[in-house]
């Protein structure tokens, strides 16, 4: 039996926030090992050869630097590294990934102070470049919302695939006025050695996932082993599947 | 020692979704007893004289009809009844509150089939009437988003205080186009005998709460006993506090 291709760290527990990405990966037939946010990363998890490491709402403090360096070395040899946003991702309130071995190989520069942007008004996700992760999805025709992001800066060699357009909205009589305030990076991809790297600014679980979790008119139900049942929009499931598959080069070896 | 004024049913557990409303009530000094969504309502909880019953993501199947009738009788004598939206509220996927003693005294008609509207595109909450619950908050100047609602119809004597404006949004070059699709009831209030009743279409916890949970520029942190710590926008905390205080007439006796 070969090792599971994906190691997924964070999003609290499988019974809570992690039920989303874990459910989608299960639905797509992608096998993974899972480490809850409050468990320390262990040598066995990162010594095993993986195709993709996913870090999502997992504090850097729980990932010993020596083990992070082993992941970096796997990425150099061809594994993927994906960081997904949240209050315990990038800097966040408790992520603290700036100046860490893993933070240093992401395609974005992580802030050294609280980088959270909570959106009480519309934030919409549009495409910035064509790419296999985003193509064929109705970003620009049925633009999905998100509820928040970690603010980061693309590195010189990072490629911005998605951006968030942040609006102010107010009422004017029977109408609503929408005024664009800013446009910020949402998904940036890059590489490190032979491996692919990706940074997604929003969370893939509530509450920051916003309307993205319900994106599309068809519903998909899924459930990871030991996870909660989820019911999501079909475009959300497709997007997450492609993000994981591309970053881990899962369909290419 | 007098009985706690509020009985709060639902929102999964205090460690999960219920940490929001429970945290806000704790922050406002409002005492409550709490019943998780998967626990059956018990006679002692509803026989005790309360000022307010809150039902939020709590399936009707867990609330025996005989006990619902005791709540109805308390409402007739002056207690409040508030139902808050979610997948286990109103009809939902698993609420099934139509044609129940409590459903029948709400100020809205509950659907007999799935009434969930998940919003992958912008849904914004605006005022429809002046009222102590909504006054003085920037609904129309900094209009907050929500992520979903239960669709219901106001009864003839129900008063609609808030509405949700549902938009389609798509990209046109560098701009985004927003087109209003519908306007639906968000908050309806009424009375039954001497008691006040209220129906809120959105959830007050993720994911349906949407941007409303982050409404405002100042953050409020709060934590109920045995609940998770929450960090929310100040206008969200004010709105929920007023909704509970008005419906339960908490400041008027």
ipTM: 0.96
Q: Is B148 on the interface with A (CB under 8 A)?
A: yes
Q: Is A140 on the interface with B (CB under 8 A)?
A: yes
Strands A148-150 and A116-118: antiparallel
**Distance from A158 to chain B by nearest Cα, in Å?**
22
Chain A residues 23-62 within an 8 A CB cutoff of chain B: none
The reported pLDDT for the residue numbered B2 is 75
Contacts of A212 in chain B (CB under 8 A): 120
The reported pLDDT for the residue numbered B1 is 52
- Collapse the DSSP code of B188 into the 3-class scheme (helix H, G, I; strand E, B; otherwise coil) and give the result: strand
The per-residue b/e assignment along B43-60, b for 16 or more CB within 10 angstroms, e otherwise, is eebbeeebbbbbbbbbbb
Residue A231's DSSP bridge partners are A221
Nearest CA-CA partner of A112 in A153, A57, A164: A153
Per-residue pLDDT tens listing for chain A (253 residues)? 579 999 999 999 999 999 999 999 999 999 999 999 999 999 999 999 999 999 999 999 999 999 999 999 999 999 999 999 999 999 999 999 999 999 999 999 999 999 999 999 999 999 999 999 999 999 999 999 999 999 999 999 999 999 999 999 999 999 999 999 999 999 999 999 999 999 999 999 999 999 999 999 999 999 999 999 999 999 999 999 999 999 999 998 5
Contacts of A178 in chain B (CB under 8 A): 176, 178
Whether the model pTM is above 0.95: yes
Contacts of B170 in chain A (CB under 8 A): 140-143
Report the distance separating Cα A144 and Cα A124, nearest Å. 6
| Candidate from B122, B165, B207 with C-beta closest to A213 | B207
Nearest CA in chain A to B126: A171
Per-residue pLDDT tens listing for chain B (253 residues)? 579 999 999 999 999 999 999 999 999 999 999 999 999 999 999 999 999 999 999 999 999 999 999 999 999 999 999 999 999 999 999 999 999 999 999 999 999 999 999 999 999 999 999 999 999 999 999 999 999 999 999 999 999 999 999 999 999 999 999 999 999 999 999 999 999 999 999 999 999 999 999 999 999 999 999 999 999 999 999 999 999 999 999 998 5
- Check: CB of residue B116 under 8 Å from CB of residue B218: no
Report the distance separating Cα B99 and Cα B65, nearest Å. 11
Question: Are B120 and A211 within 8 A, CB to CB?
Answer: yes
């Amino acid at each position: 039996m070969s090792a599971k291709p994906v190691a997924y760290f964070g999003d609290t527990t499988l019974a809570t926030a992690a039920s989303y990405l874990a459910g989608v990966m299960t639905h797509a037939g992608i096998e993974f090992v899972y480490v809850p946010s409050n468990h320390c990363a262990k040598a066995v998890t990162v010594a095993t050869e993986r195709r993709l490491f996913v870090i999502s709402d997992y504090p850097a403090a729980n990932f010993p630097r020596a083990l992070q360096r082993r992941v970096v070395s796997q990425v150099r040899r061809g594994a993927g590294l994906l960081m997904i946003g949240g209050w315990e991702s990038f800097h966040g309130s408790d992520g603290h990934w700036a100046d860490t071995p893993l933070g240093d190989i992401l395609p974005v520069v992580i802030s050294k102070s609280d980088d959270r942007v909570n959106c009480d008004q519309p934030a919409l996700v549009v495409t910035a470049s064509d790419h296999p992760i985003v193509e064929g999805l109705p970003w620009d025709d049925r633009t999905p919302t998100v509820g928040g992001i970690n603010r980061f800066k693309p590195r010189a060699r990072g490629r911005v695939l998605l951006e968030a357009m942040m609006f102010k909205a107010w009422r004017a009589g029977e109408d609503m006025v929408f005024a664009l305030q800013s446009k910020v990076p949402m998904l940036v991809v890059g590489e490190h050695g032979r491996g692919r790297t990706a940074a997604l600014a929003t969370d893939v679980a509530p509450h920051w996932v916003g309307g993205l979790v319900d994106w599309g008119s068809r519903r998909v139900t899924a459930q990871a082993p030991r996870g909660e049942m989820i019911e999501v929009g079909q475009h959300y499931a497709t997007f997450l599947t492609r993000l994981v598959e591309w970053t881990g080069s899962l369909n290419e070896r």
